[in-house]
Chain A
Amino acid sequence: MGLHGGQFTTMRIPVETFHLDNGLFVTLSEDHSTPIVAVNLWYHVGSANEKAGRTGFAHLFEHMLFQGSAHVGSNEHFELIQRAGGTLNGSTWLERTNYFETVPSNELALALWLEADRMGELLPAMTQEKLDTQRDVVKNERRWAVDNQPYGTMLERMQELVFPASHPFQHSLIGSMEDLSAASLDDIAQFFATYYTPDNAVLSIAGDFGSTAARKLVTEYFGPIPSGKVRPELPPMNLPPVFGARLREVVYDNVSLPRLFMAFRSPVFGSEEYYAASVASAVLGMRKGSRLHRSLVRERQIAADAGAFTFDLAKGTDILVVDVTARPETSVAQLEQEVEREIDTVHGEGVTEPEVKRAIALIETDLLASLQSAGERADRLSMFATYFKRPELINEQADRYRSVTTQRVNALISERLGANNRANLLYVPKEGVELESALAAVAGTN
């Protein structure tokens, strides 16, 4: 069975849902075009749920989920899936942690069983030695992706700059070395009991399987796992629509070129206005025809690269970020001034109908191209089910984007791109730093 009736407008991905008594939310999406199947689990827990002094724990915990469970040896999860001809991984974000495998369709039971075993009985396999090794692995991940990589601290510095102290999104996802060192087996047990429960998870299966057989397997493997107890609620995360002031941080770092990340508070992921923000972000920075690329890279040639993206946060507020890297001959002050000026122009004059149409057309192609992959379909089903209890939103995305008008994009820009809603995170090469006074001058103009 294919996924479309010849026209994108009529394309629908089939979506079935059911719940187990223990609260596990399951989504199924059949497609028999290739004999492969994707299994995808989202746990509604991320770095936002970490307690004080345990930054990085949600991610370290994700590593521990590959260290075996009651009936699975250390690293055997990886081995069994690869032996079956499958691919797998996991990832941690501020609001969720996901685990996923794509396997030949005759190995669906194996993938489900492995996920159920670690959801049901992780703790018997946890040892101090495994925790110590994974702690070292994660510290090396931090060195590799953050400390020894130009602009690698962007995410954690941005979180710190744009969220108020004690907001759940404010602290580092990868975590500090000190907090990683402090993580204990007790923390593992507690985190597992609190968050890794069927009523805090979504299981999605996409690809070549039969619904009846899949329901039977899911019920058999996941049914016996008990529900969790009450989870601590996240503190209120709502924030005013704008910062209300100019935020700015300069980082003197081991980088070759100045680079400015300018962030705006933007409407929360999934909201009606999120789609306008997402289109605004594409108008500004998606591909070569975007506003910033055309102006700063092509025409005025002060930037080596320019882009924009949203964090897609579903709680409290989202963040839209403009990302511009200077050309070697562009000064730090000039970079910041020119980007400010571009954003001022967009804020003052708005954007045009063709710019909005271009952005929506590009988003639509990317959306459709990504849905070719079973793993992507399963991941999006899990996402919409986790955040909104509505996996069928996967079929509404194209329409949501298409219904965004230029007027709505400009209303969003007018509300969110003003001078009272900008946070500039500016990386400056520490070697051969330009005059501090030049930087001070820029700060003074703000």
Chain B
Amino acid sequence: MVTSLRPKPGPTRSYNFPGFHDEILPSGIRLVTAPVAKLPVVTVLVIVDAGSTNDPAGKEGVAALTAGTLLEGSEKFDGAELAEKFEQLGTSVETGADWDSAFIKITVLSEQLEQATMLLGEAISSPVFPEREVERAKSERLAEILQLETEPRGLADEKFSEFLYTQESRYSKPDEGGTESVRALSRKDVEAFYRSSYRAGSTTAIIAGDTSTNEARALITRAFQRWPSGRAPNRPFVAMARTTRKSIHIVDKPEAPQSELRAGHVGLPRNHPDFFPTLVMNAVLGGLFGSRINLNLREEHGYTYGASSFYDWRRGPGPFVVSTAVQSEVTAAALREILLEIDRIRGERISEEELSLARDYLDGVFPIRYETTAAIASALATLVIYDLPADYYDSYRKNIREVSADAILEAARSHLHPDQLQTIVVGDARVIRASVSDLSVGDLHVYSS
């Protein structure tokens, strides 16, 4: 027999987020270094203030296309040669743009750090954006968009953004651009975007792993000596809701075995003062396996393999969304439970037990999040992109622990808006339609896909 006595935790060992050094190099590039010598591996993450929200109107997708073709040809090497050179060094390379920044990331054994970083510097300081490669990247993006027609999860996410934000908002369109705007992009657009945005004053190099700050400084200074000075232009940003009236949109997929369900509204910007109470509130609502929404939909009812809610934290107010996929026949029943859970967390204070579960989890899991050089670099990028204070990670756990049940109730009442809920269902309209119209989820719109 296994003992029935539950073990008690032992004494805790303290943990600190890896120490890092933050400076502005003479070139204007910001350098953040976190020497961590556990294994001989290093991640270099270069972020540039050239994310998708910087796309000029009508050029949606140009930020992603620029980041995606940065390594497709430089003054010295063509794209195939660059891939070959990086990969001969065992370098895993990734480039892309998300809403708030463009990024170029390499992870490499420390003995190859110098060569890989010099190659990276050369390549992204003198990209030539060959016509052929830009056109190829466009075609690959168009193929991706085509794939969404038969991919219900991605389609539901995309439709949700489209119905959530006003058309003037960059957030209403796919971050990598839609068919029309991508088709119209040219290598000239890419080159112009690169010239205006990829500048020292808008660039941060983050190096985490088996190296020293001095070595990293010397290396970045050398690798980026041709990086142009100046800053990327600021663009005015709109993130208004398309409507404040609740409504439900069904994208019809006849015979679909499940409904992909998204329900939510415009959320909060990352720098909102209620970040911590809102984070913990969402953990209770739908952020954890043991959250109300998941336990209700999955463990009580067996409606789904999983259900969750989250705030998509961006510089501007990203979406708040409840996301799940449920068996078609129970779509309305599942949606009703979601609405009940939103009302319940706004209606009454959560119990101490629920509070401590969410709080202790977010507090305790902190050291597990930063095991790898890539994870540390990404955490440092968050500091830079959202302009968080240098002691953000050192005070994170204290900030989590200080959230009270009252603060959570306040956050739920202030930042959950069931009266403005937009619901998107990608599923079989014939099965779903009648039952969801019994719920008070607003005007119903059906689209054939």
Contact = CB atoms under 8 A, between A and B. Distances in A.
Pairing of A with B: yes
A408 interface: no
A143 interface: yes
Contacts of A368: 39-41, 109
Interface in B131-154: 136, 139-140, 142-144, 146-153
7 contacts: A78-B290, A83-B356, A86-B365, A110-B6, A132-B302, A287-B92, A373-B371
A148 B257 contact: yes
Contacts, number: 253
A82 interface: yes
Given A7-B40, A85-B366, A224-B2, A358 B87 contact: yes
Contacts of B10: 105-109
B151 A149 contact: yes
B431 interface: no
B289 interface: yes
B150 to A, nearest CB: 5
A124 to B, nearest CB: 11
Contacts of A78: 289-290
Contacts of B7: 109-110, 112-113, 217
Contacts of A134: 302
A372 B373 contact: yes
Interface string A391-424: 0000000000000000000000000000000000
A121 B144 CA distance: 49
Interface string A285-303: 0011100001001110100
B79 interface: yes
B41 A365 contact: yes
Closest 9 CB pairs of A and B: A85-B364, A136-B302, A361-B90, A109-B7, A35-B13, A141-B305, A106-B10, A365-B90, A120-B2
A150 B150 contact: yes
B25 interface: no
A368 B110 CA distance: 11
A84 B364 contact: yes
A152 B299 CA distance: 24
Nearest to A67: B299
A196 B152 CA distance: 37
A294 to B, nearest CB: 6
Given A104-B367, A144-B305, A368-B39, A328 B146 contact: yes
Nearest to A213: B10
B47 interface: no
Contacts of B142: 328
B83 A289 contact: yes
B416 to A, nearest CB: 22
A147 B257 CA distance: 7
A136 B304 CA distance: 8
Contact of A358 (B38, B88, B136, B153): B88
A148 B325 contact: yes
Given A83-B356, A257-B143, A289 B87 contact: yes
A55 to B, nearest CB: 18
Contacts of B107: 365, 369
Contacts of A6: 40
Contacts of B152: 148-149
B360 A85 contact: yes
B148 to A, nearest CB: 8
Contacts of B84: 289, 354, 358
A117 B2 contact: yes
Nearest to B18: A34
Contact of A140 (B3, B13, B290, B304): B304
B363 interface: yes
A208 interface: yes
B183 to A, nearest CB: 13
Interface residues of B, number: 82
A368 B143 CA distance: 34
Interface in A326-346: 327-328
A114 to B, nearest CB: 9
B88 A70 contact: no
B373 A369 contact: yes
B325 A121 contact: no
A407 B88 CA distance: 19
Contacts of B149: 256
A113 B153 CA distance: 38
Interface string B360-393: 1101111110111110000000000000000000
Interface of B: 1-4, 6-15, 37-41, 79-80, 83-84, 86-92, 107-109, 111, 136, 139-140, 142-144, 146-153, 256-258, 260, 288-290, 295, 298-305, 325-327, 356-357, 360-361, 363-368, 370-374
Contacts of A82: 288-290, 357, 360-361, 365
B305 A71 contact: no
Given A6-B40, A140-B325, A365-B92, A75 B295 contact: yes
Contacts of A34: 15, 367, 370-371
Interface in A130-160: 132-141, 143-145, 147-150
B79 A327 contact: no
Contacts of A106: 9-13
A400 B167 CA distance: 56
B12 A104 contact: yes
Contacts of B300: 133
A148 B305 CA distance: 13
Contacts of B6: 71, 110, 113
Interface in A214-256: 217, 220-222, 224-225, 254-256
A147 B107 CA distance: 36
A71 B140 CA distance: 54
Nearest to A109: B7
A84 B10 CA distance: 11
Contact of A365 (B4, B91, B365): B91
A20 interface: no
Given A8-B111, A287-B92, 9 more contacts: A8-B40, A79-B290, A109-B7, A117-B2, A287-B87, A294-B80, A305-B140, A327-B143, A369-B372
Contacts of A364: 90, 109
Nearest to B145: A256
Contacts of A112: 7
Interface string A25-42: 000000101111000000
Nearest to B133: A298
Given A110-B9, A287-B92, A372 B258 contact: no
B305 A225 contact: no
A256 B146 contact: yes
B9 A3 contact: no
B241 to A, nearest CB: 29
B360 A84 contact: yes
Nearest to A325: B143
Contacts of A204: none
B402 to A, nearest CB: 17
Nearest to B143: A304
A280 to B, nearest CB: 16
A22 interface: no
B117 to A, nearest CB: 14
B379 to A, nearest CB: 14
Given A3-B38, A87-B368, A75 B325 contact: no
Contacts of A8: 40, 109, 111
Contacts of B365: 82, 85-87
Given A132-B302, A362-B92, A373 B372 contact: yes
B13 A105 contact: yes
A366 interface: yes
A4 B12 CA distance: 26
* Residue from A31, A224, A254, A354 with most neighbouring chain B CB atoms (10 Å): A254
A102 interface: yes
A140 B258 contact: yes
